[in-house]
Structure 1
Amino acid sequence: MNKFIIKPLQNEHCRQIQELILPIQQLEFNIPVTLEAQSDLFDIETYYHNTGGGFWGAFDENKLVGTIALIATSHQAGAIRKMFVKKEYRGRDYGIAQSLLEILFVYSKEHQIKDLYLGTVEVLRAAQRFYERNGFQPLLKSALPSYFPIMPVDTLFYHLHLNQA
């Protein structure tokens, strides 16, 4: 089992983030999305940190192997984005996805974010199971709050109300 560390990511990490996420989206899962269509990946500080959210990365040595991001949307809510783990680091043996999500949960509770929303695509079945194991409930697109920033490629949506206790 590899040891990894999770730390906040800033704009100086944009290239590493792009190099992790794009191959997963385009090559591994054939999601029809380009880097140019994801302007957030060029300025994570504006899109994530400046909203009151954050962007975190899991590192094995100096190699970025996983990410998760949060856009604070007001209304004590947030949108989870950019949850990706490099293929060879996935699974319960590593626990990277779970650790990233738990960091986001802690941050959300500390910042009085009570409701988390996310969008995903049909082909990411393991991600859907992961979210459901963590208490996320499927949600119809029409039931999303008006302030949720929908990504054009997303077809499935989830919601979790965080217990603030």
Structure 2
Amino acid sequence: MSATDIQIQRFEPNDQQGVFDVIVPIQREEFGIAITAEDQPDLKAIPEFYQSGTGDFWVARQGEQVIGTIGLKDIGSGQAALRKMFVAAPFRGREFGVAARLLSCLIEGAGKKGVSEIFLGTTDKFLAAHRFYEKHGFTEVAKESLPASFPIMAVDSKFYKLRLLP
């Protein structure tokens, strides 16, 4: 198994179960969040929720198995929210570069669609995520400076912004 076996592709409806199979166990088992697929209507309607306007949704796959996800939600005014970035534990880290490849795909896709700023929310606990986002050019912003249209999740306590070059 190597990084070259892993493909990043735009979400298609037949990826639906694979998306649930990556995200829900990470939320429940790793982060202890009592959440189900049913609690996340955005995941049941990815084409409508994410793949509209300047938004999109991508999956990382190895063969037929979905091993990572990332979503971009159009929030208007040339701005977007990064959501649902998850990578299955065996595929994390520099060896495979899945998270970096997913993020790169999202930034490239956002730029092509005219997005000027990408915002994201995370929790104070996700220190590795903070380092990852900062390494990729995101800067921390105060909750008060987020666009009014940014969808703040109950668990979000730390926020970042990436300005894309025009």
- TM-score grouping bracket, smaller chain normalisation: over 0.9
Q: Kindly, what percent of the aligned residue pairs are identical?
A: 37
Q: Would the alpha carbon gap of residues 153 and 11 (structure 1) be closer, same or farther in structure 2, given more than 3 Å must change? A: farther
Report the equivalent of 1:29.
Answer: 31
1:140 and 1:146 map into 2 onto residues whose CA distance is 13
- SS at the partner of 1:98? helix
Match of 2:144 among 142, 145, 148: 142
Asked if residue 127 in structure 1 is aligned to residue 134 in structure 2, the reply is: no
List structure 1 runs of 4+ shifted beyond 6 angstroms: none
Give the AA of the match of 1:90. Answer: R
Q: Which runs of 5+ in 1 are unaligned?
A: none
User: Does the 8 A contact of 2:22 with 2:88 survive in 1?
Assistant: yes
Asked if residue 71 in structure 1 is aligned to residue 62 in structure 2, the reply is: no
* Aligned-residue CA RMSD (Å): 1.2
User: Does the 8 A contact of 2:54 with 2:114 survive in 1?
Assistant: no
Q: CA deviation at 1:51?
A: 3.5
- TM-score, length-normalised on structure 2? 0.94
Equivalences, count: 164
Report the equivalent of 1:38.
Answer: 40
Q: CA deviation at 1:152?
A: 1.7
Q: Which runs of 5+ in 2 are unaligned?
A: none
Report the equivalent of 1:163.
Answer: 165
- TM-score, length-normalised on structure 1? 0.94
Give the AA of the match of 1:112. Answer: G
